Amino acid sequence: MTTIRIPARFNGPPDSGNGGYTCGLVAGLLGHLPCEVSLRAPPPLERELSVESVAEGVLVRDGETVVAQCRRSVLDVEPGETVTIADAKDASGAGLERWTAAHPFPTCVVCGPEREVGDGFGIFPGPLAEGRFAAAWSPHASLSAGDGTVGLEYVWSALDCPTSAPLANWGDGRPIVLARLTASIDGPVMAGEPHVIVSWELGRDGRKREAACVLFDAAGTALARSRALWIELRET
């Protein structure tokens, strides 16, 4: 039986997997073609999760509980314009202040301000003009697939948290969690090289919120794109 496991390093909330990392791990089961991954339950850490092939893709289960569902998809996100590395760094600096002050999950591997450099990804999107957000990202060598490129599950991770930046309540409301991520990896992302991530809101419907993001290299080439559905948690 095929299984997958989410290492403890790649948490989002303290006791469950980062949504983007989990989606990337599951998308790898279909060869990282453009895929849509829906999260049905909090992904548990350090546990063998069973993989079931179904007609439309794969299901990932924790016992009887469906954790994730993946199918091939088409992504309707246009890259738009990038920003300079310098502007992205400035936005990240402002973003870090905001994420430090109001992050509901401060140890998240991608955007958690309490993670050490090289352990966490250090992606802190900050606001630009016209509702866009940006972050600078130089992937750590530990994310390399061995040939200098960043492992695709880590690229999926980087396409997740930035989409929350235009949607989050920022300390004035309930947290939001990833429910679905659709992504397309269009070119190699190189470890140690500077990149820019730009995100923006697509719309809201009650507790549902959608956003998109694009990962660019320093020359402005779009390397990866995503569209994410986030859900605001109910009051307990």
**Is 147 inside a domain boundary?**
yes
**Is 226 inside a domain boundary?**
yes
Count of the separate structural domains present in the chain: 2
213 and 133, same structural domain?
A: yes
Q: How do residues 151-207 score in pLDDT, each as one tens digit?
A: 999 999 999 999 999 998 877 778 889 999 999 999 999 999 999 999 999 999 999
126 and 224, same structural domain?
A: yes
209 and 96, same structural domain?
A: yes
**Is 77 inside a domain boundary?**
no
The secondary structure element, H or E, covering residue 98 is: helix 85-102
98 and 58, same structural domain?
A: no
**Is 207 inside a domain boundary?**
yes
Residue 55 above 90 pLDDT? no
When pLDDT is averaged across residues 112-132 and rounded to a whole number, the result is 93
Q: How do residues 74-89 score in pLDDT, each as one tens digit?
A: 999 999 889 999 999 9
Residue 34 above 90 pLDDT? yes
Last residue of a domain, one of 22, 43, 72: 72
d(CA 2, CA 173): 40
Instruction: Give the domain extent around 111.
Output: 85-232
**Is 110 inside a domain boundary?**
yes
**Is 79 inside a domain boundary?**
no
How confident is the model at residue 220, as a pLDDT? 96
How confident is the model at residue 236, as a pLDDT? 61
216 and 147, same structural domain?
A: yes
Residue 13 above 80 pLDDT? yes
**Is 99 inside a domain boundary?**
yes
Q: How do residues 195-227 score in pLDDT, each as one tens digit?
A: 999 999 999 999 999 999 999 999 999 999 999
Last residue of a domain, one of 72, 93, 114: 72
Q: Which residue has the higher pLDDT, 170 or 119?
A: 119
Name the maximum alpha-carbon separation found in the chain.
50
Among residues 88, 115, 86, 121, which one has the least CA distance to residue 100?
115
**Is 80 inside a domain boundary?**
no
109 and 20, same structural domain?
A: no
pTM: 0.95
* Cα separations in angstroms, 201 against 77, 164, 175, 208: 12, 9, 16, 12
